Amino acid sequence: MLEIKDLSISVENTPIIKNLSLTVRRGEIHAIMGPNGAGKSTLARSIMGYPGYEVNQGSVLLDDKDMTELEPEERATSGLFVSFQYPVEIPGVNNAEFLRMALNAKRNSQGLEELDPLDFDDLLTQKMDALHIDRDFKNRGLNEGFSGGEKKRNEILQMAVLDPKFAILDETDSGLDIDALRIVSSGVNQLANEQNGLILITHYQRLLNHIQPDHVHVLLDGEIVKTGGKELALELEEKGYDWLKQPSHS
């Protein structure tokens, strides 16, 4: 279970996330929707422990283990994963070698033996084929010269290899054409199961045509202002967000 309890986050002294609480159980898919600037990406990155964000109060618990004070890498090896909206390019670092490093970091933390390059390559090939990802991804630099769509698919590949307990997908649909969206969504659907939980962060309802959420939350100005089922997404598509905006507290 992933529990976000009463979380408040500031960035450069400006409060961005305000008293936010959210619980995701295994097997559940949650969608967080909201307009630009609502704090969606800040929420995603703060769950991962982005340095430079200030946690003013609250906590993030993964299976009752407090993540709030942990380094990002410790959160990752505990089973959290964020698919970034804009994955960075890291020239010269081999994509496959990076993935092996990441998986072995996780295996180390679990007291498992590291995978050697050959065994890892078998695993990677299998994951890539399942996700219909071109094998030439292995030999490229990490996100180096990748198109927007390729980067998103690479994020999903990382998720497949690392097999997290809870994953937050930050605008995984943005910048994708219809075909790429279908490929990425089917990848996500393959990976979603009863043992893990997903949070989809998105602007648009269209992703939710491909991945069915159990719960939809509306994030406005750093707060969850409404929660509903998947029909809420359709309502938002039709009405926009303005009707949910409350007059600011005085």
Residues that bind another protein (CB under 8 A): 45, 48-52, 71-73, 75-77, 81-82, 84, 87-88, 90-94, 97-98, 101-102, 105-106, 109, 141, 158, 162
- Terminus-to-terminus CA distance in the chain, angstroms? 36
Please report how close the Cβ of residue 41 comes to another protein at its closest, in angstroms: 12
Please report how close the Cβ of residue 102 comes to another protein at its closest, in angstroms: 4
DSSP letter for 246, please: P
Please report how close the Cβ of residue 249 comes to another protein at its closest, in angstroms: 33
- Between residues 110 and 248, which has the closer beta carbon with respect to another protein? 110
Please report how close the Cβ of residue 231 comes to another protein at its closest, in angstroms: 33
Residue 247 to residues 38, 101, 192, 221, Cα–Cα distance (Å): 15, 49, 38, 12
d(CA 43, CA 235): 23
Can you name the residues that pair with 168 across neighbouring β-strands? 82, 199
- Between residues 49 and 58, which has the closer beta carbon with respect to another protein? 49
- Between residues 10 and 94, which has the closer beta carbon with respect to another protein? 94
Please report how close the Cβ of residue 11 comes to another protein at its closest, in angstroms: 14
Query: CB–CB of 126/134 below 8 Å?
Result: no
Element (H, E) at 2: strand 2-11
- Between residues 171 and 224, which has the closer beta carbon with respect to another protein? 171
DSSP letter for 113, please: P
Nearest CA among 200, 203, 236 for reference residue 215: 200
- Between residues 101 and 234, which has the closer beta carbon with respect to another protein? 101
